[in-house]
Homo-oligomer: A and B are copies of this chain.
């Protein structure tokens, strides 16, 4: 046993290590922690994990979390039905909601294009996006994928996919120096972008 760990512990560590941001060492630390704590804690987590997918579903229209067929945002009569915001994930949607700056509808892609991780257009909710936009009614589609290589590539892909009409405006969220930042400590790429995208006053 010295050096080599019991299989059950190794298995837990290996599975935890697959989670994003959890390294091999910290996965093992977590597994040991769970082993040291009362059995109930591991079982509680196990039960919650087993129940997760059954209890939470997605809105069939926009891809947001939902307990019914359509989510609360899609069903809300006060939302502006002419503006659509395309995001990568539900947490991104929630972040935009938290700003209070957007009152339209969403479309969650559930990922970004990432050839390295084997994510192609077929894995994203793109067909339903094209359908939604194609059926008309939207005056603006905001591409709010992340400002990263993958997010930019996905935005560019969506841009080509959507059939543009004179009635439809396509936009992309702004990229630049974040609020409260010292220019001195901002990375070159961001600062360069902020300069190129400068706005006349």
Tell me the A residues contacting B by CB distance below 8 Å.
1-3, 5-9, 11-12, 15-16, 18-22, 26, 28-36, 39, 41-56, 64-67, 71-73, 89-91, 93-94, 97-98, 110-111
Contacts of A56 in B (CB 8 A): 6, 8-9, 35
Question: Other than the known A2-B97, A6-B67, A20-B30, what 7 A-B pairs have Cβ atoms closer than 8 Å?
Answer: A1-B73, A6-B65, A12-B48, A21-B30, A42-B49, A46-B46, A46-B49
Tell me the smallest distance from the CB of A95 to a CB of chain B, in Å.
11
Contacts of A67 in B (CB 8 A): 1, 6
Contact residues of A: prevailing secondary structure: helix
Contacts of A44 in B (CB 8 A): 15
Contact assessment for B45 and A16 in the assembled complex, using a CB-CB cutoff below 8 Å: yes
Contact of A72 among B2, B12, B21 (CB under 8 A): B2
Contact assessment for A52 and B2 in the assembled complex, using a CB-CB cutoff below 8 Å: no
Tell me the smallest distance from the CB of A61 to a CB of chain B, in Å.
13
Contacts of A15 in B (CB 8 A): 41, 44-45, 48
Contacts of A11 in B (CB 8 A): 48, 51
Contacts of A110 in B (CB 8 A): 36
**Which 9 pairs show the lowest CB-CB distances between chains A and B?**
A8-B55, A46-B49, A46-B46, A39-B53, A46-B50, A1-B72, A15-B45, A42-B49, A6-B56
Contact assessment for A52 and B9 in the assembled complex, using a CB-CB cutoff below 8 Å: yes
Contact assessment for B1 and A71 in the assembled complex, using a CB-CB cutoff below 8 Å: yes
Contact assessment for B36 and A43 in the assembled complex, using a CB-CB cutoff below 8 Å: no
Q: Which residue of B lies closest to A72 (CB)?
A: B1
